[in-house]
Structure 1
Amino acid sequence: MSDTGIDAQLIHPILRNDNAAKWLGIEVLKVSEGRATISMTLRPEMLNGFGIAHGGMIFALADTAFAMACNSHLGSTDTITVASGVDINFLKPGIPGRTLTAVAERRQQTGRSGIYDIQVLQSVPEADDEVLAEFRGRSRTIPKPSAAAPKL
């Protein structure tokens, strides 16, 4: 439950079974069709050997926002939208204890393909947030896998 009293699991159906997002401590700030804003705080176990955010943690936050923006917050019984490719540019180091916010926005949707930009911001004490990373995701909408399909 967030500070706003909203259960993040109810805001977006893809979070119901997302154990990675739970472990990251992701909080949903805003979600609407083609957009999502989420945040997490950098904990010690999220740091690399240099004592800054592991790039995989920043990527995971951006990727979660991407998935939320790609898939309707109302859910779908027929299709899911997955990543077909992504690029990320790390611009600054993530500092322990700071809050990271990922802001995802659909740029283009044509047929089953889409392009999304995700900006990852880092809180800075007594200053404006700074851009930590820029992530561009390419999506593809596919039929929802059958519940009878074998699990890998």
Structure 2
Amino acid sequence: MNKNELAEKVVDKMMADDAFSQWLGIDVVEVNPGFAKLQMKVRKEMVNGFNVSHGGIAFSLADSALAFASNSYGRIAVAMENNISFMKKVVAGDTLTAETEELSIGRRIGVYNISITNQNADQVALFRGTVFRTQEQHFE
């Protein structure tokens, strides 16, 4: 199996076992080693009292993109630290796209930026995530 096939197999398995990403309605648009592009539509039950998307929705989309990108090499990676900056409001009906950029990948640590854009290609948030890469493999 080549590296792209492994990345797809890992993400397929992770998505099948990830009830929360499924509840969010995440679609995996593209995955390659160290890269994931995800998309989802913001639903009415995802907005807060100000009638804008709860910040946890964009954070969760980006967190899933981080998980898929950092695990795509076949090694189990877990989040160590994440942060997010919000630039524009998101409302019900918006379609969000999260796209990863692998900044650094080492034996133990990986660092990623995840840009979140809306259907108009406006950047609505920027997420930075750091993962710990364990020695465990997703598949034998």
Equivalent residue in structure 2 for 1:122, among 118, 123, 128:
118
Residue 17 and residue 60 in structure 1: after superposition, are their counterparts in 2 closer, same or farther (change >3 A)?
A: same
Counterpart for residue 13 of structure 1: 13
Which digits, 9 at most, give the CA deviation of each residue in 1:67-94, with x for residues without a partner? 0100026xx4xx4101110111011110
Q: 1:1-152 alignment to 2 at 5 Å?
A: 12-72=12-72, 76=74, 79-124=75-120, 129-144=121-136
Q: Find the aligned partners of 1:131 and 1:62 in 2 and give their Cα distance.
A: 13
- List alignment gaps of at least 5 residues for structure 2: 1-7
Which digits, 9 at most, give the CA deviation of each residue in 1:96-120, with x for residues without a partner? 1010000012111122101101000
TM-score, normalising length: structure 2: 0.86
Q: Cα offset for 1:143?
A: 4.1
Q: Percentage identity across aligned positions?
A: 37
Q: Secondary structure at the match of 2:118?
A: strand
Q: Secondary structure at the match of 1:68?
A: helix
Bigger drift between 10-19 and 79-88 goes to 10-19
Q: Cα offset for 1:13?
A: 2.1
Q: How many equivalent pairs are there?
A: 130
- Is the 8 Å Cα contact of residues 12 and 68 (structure 1) preserved in structure 2? no
Residue 66 and residue 11 in structure 1: after superposition, are their counterparts in 2 closer, same or farther (change >3 A)?
A: closer
Runs of 4+ residues deviating >3 angstroms: 8-11
Residue 9 and residue 27 in structure 1: after superposition, are their counterparts in 2 closer, same or farther (change >3 A)?
A: farther
RMSD between aligned residues: 2.0
Q: Secondary structure at the match of 1:15?
A: helix
Q: Secondary structure at the match of 2:17?
A: coil
Q: Secondary structure at the match of 1:123?
A: coil
TM-score, normalising length: structure 1: 0.79
